[in-house]
Amino acid sequence: MNIETKDVLGMWKEYTLTNDLGMSVSVLDYGGIITKIIVPDRNGNRENVVLGYKNYQDYNQNSNYFGALIGRVGGRIQGASFELGNKTYNLAANNGNNHLHGGPEGFHQVIWEVAPFLTEEAVGLSLTHKSMDGEGGYPGNIDVTVTYTLTNENELDLNYLASSDQTSPITLTNHTYFNLSGSLKNTVHEHRVAIDSSKFVELDKELIPTGNLIHVEGTPFDFRDDRLLGDGFNDDTEQNKIAGNGYDHYFILDHISDTQVTVQEPASGRVMTLKTTQPGLVLYTANGLAEDLNLAGGLSRKYLGVCFETQASPASLHHEGFPSVILQAGEKYSEQTVFTFSSK
C-alpha cells in the first residue's frame, strides 16, 4: 500500500493510491476528480478503466464532468429554481433553462482540502470543503467530507458526509465514466449490465423528469437480468431516443440484491460491482460525448463510457414520490457507494 503525490500545472495535486494487488486510483484535489483507475484483466494486464483527459489543463473546462465530485445537487433541477419554506431559490441555468450538477460554482470546480491516510488494510484520501450560504443560489453553510478508500480487496469506497446550518437540498455523487475494455479499446456496447431496479423515471425532451415512473418490464430499461448496454442504443423506444439514443435516466433501486449493479466486459474478463446506500442512480452512456476530445488512451467518441451516478432525485423538488434531496438543518447527510473490481 502506498500513496504518491505529484504537482499538476503548478496549481493542483494528484494523489495516486495503490494497494498490495497493484490496483491504483488517481485523484486530483481539483474537483475531487478521479483521473485514472488501473485494474488487471483476466490475464493480469493492468489498464486504465475510466475516461480522463490526456492534458490536465482540459479539466479546467470539464463540461463532461469526467471523474468529478458533483454537488450540491447531482442532476438537473427543473427551471433552475425550487421552493423551500415558502421561499423561491433561483439557481444558475447552465443547461438550457435548467440547472445541472450544482451549476458553474459546483463542487467539480473547487479545490478540496485533502488529507491522505494509510492503514494496514487500506489507503485513502479525506476531501473536505465548506460551501457558504448563498453559493450557487443555495441556502445554508454546508460542510462536506468525501472519503476515497482503496482496500486490498480491490474495493474503491466512496463515503459522503455533510451537514448544514439551514435546511437545504443536497445529493452528492461522482461522475466517473467507466470502460472496462481497458485503455479505451472499445465502446461500451458490449458491456453487460445488471441493475437492481424495476422502475425508472420518464424524461421530457429537455431531459427533465415528467413526474412519471415507468416499470422496466418489456423495455430496454429492464436490467434486472443482465443485458447489453447496446440494446438501448439503437432501440426505437421513445425514452432511448429522447436521451440521444441511449440512457440518461434515473433508476429507483429496489435494494433486493446484495449488489445494486454488476458490469461485465467479456473481452477483458473485467467485472465491476456497485453497492450503495443511495435510493437510486442515473445511468448515463455518454450519448452526448463529442468526438474530438483528447483523452488518455485516444480520442473521445459517443458511447465510450458509462456512468453510474448514485444519488437521490432532484425531481423530488418539483414532484411527489421521488427520493428526497432535502437535508434538514442540523441533521447529518451520510451515504456510501462501493465499486469492487475483479476478473473472470
Distance separating alpha carbons of residues 204 and 224, to the nearest angstrom: 24
Asked if residue 175 belongs to a domain, the reply is yes
Cβ-contact 281, 311 below 8 angstroms: yes
* Distance, CA of 270 to CA of 250 (rounded, Å): 25
Residue by residue, DSSP assigns 208-270 as -EEEEEEE-TTSTT--SS-EEGGGGTS---HHHHHTTSS-EEEEEE---SS-SEEEEETTTTE
Residues 6+ apart with CB under 8 A from 46: 22, 23, 38, 39, 40
Q: Which pLDDT score is estimated for 287? A: 97
Report the pLDDT value the prediction gives residue 222, as an integer from 0 to 100.
98
Q: Would residue 255 count as lying in a domain?
A: no
Averaged pLDDT for residues 215-232: 97
CATH code where residue 333 lies: 2.70.98.10
What is the residue range of 70's domain? 2-182+280-343
Once rounded to an integer, what is the mean pLDDT over residues 194-220?
98
**What's the N-to-C CA distance of the chain in angstroms?**
24
Is position 105 annotated as part of the catalytic site? Answer: no
pLDDT band at 124 (very low <50, low <70, confident <90, very high): very high
342 band by pLDDT with thresholds 50, 70 and 90: very high
At 246-289, the pLDDT tens digits run: 999 999 999 999 999 999 999 999 999 999 999 999 999 999 99
Cα-based distances in Å from 302 to 109, 187, 230, 263, 292: 24, 8, 12, 19, 10
- Give the separation between CA 203 and CA 264, rounded to whole angstroms: 27
120 is catalytic: no
Q: Residue 324 phi/psi, 5° resolution?
A: -70, 145
d(CA 203, CA 118): 44
Look at residue 135 and tell me if it is in a domain.
yes
- 120 torsion bin: left (phi>0), alpha (psi -120 to 50), beta (else): alpha
Each residue's pLDDT tens digit, 329-341: 999 999 999 999 9
Arithmetic mean of pLDDT over the chain:
97
Cβ(162)–Cβ(338) below 8 Å = no
Mean pLDDT of 22-48: 98
| Helix or strand (DSSP H, E) at 83 | strand 81-84
- Give the model's confidence band at 232: pLDDT under 50 very low, under 70 low, under 90 confident, else very high: very high
In a domain, 208, yes or no: no
Count how many residues are written for the chain: 344
| Residues 57, 178, 294: CA angle, nearest 5 degrees | 30
| pLDDT in the model for residue 53 | 98
Range 223-231 average pLDDT:
97
For residue 271, is it within any domain? no
Residue 190 lies in a domain: no
User: In total, how many domains does the chain have?
Assistant: 1
Is residue 267 assigned to a domain?
A: no
The whole-model pTM stands at 0.98
| Residue at 252 is within a domain | no
217 burial level (CB within 10 Å; 0-12, 13-18, 19+): exposed
Active-site entry in 99, 108, 175, 191: 175
- Active-site residue among 47, 135, 265, 309? 309
Q: The cell 459517443 sits on which residue?
A: 302
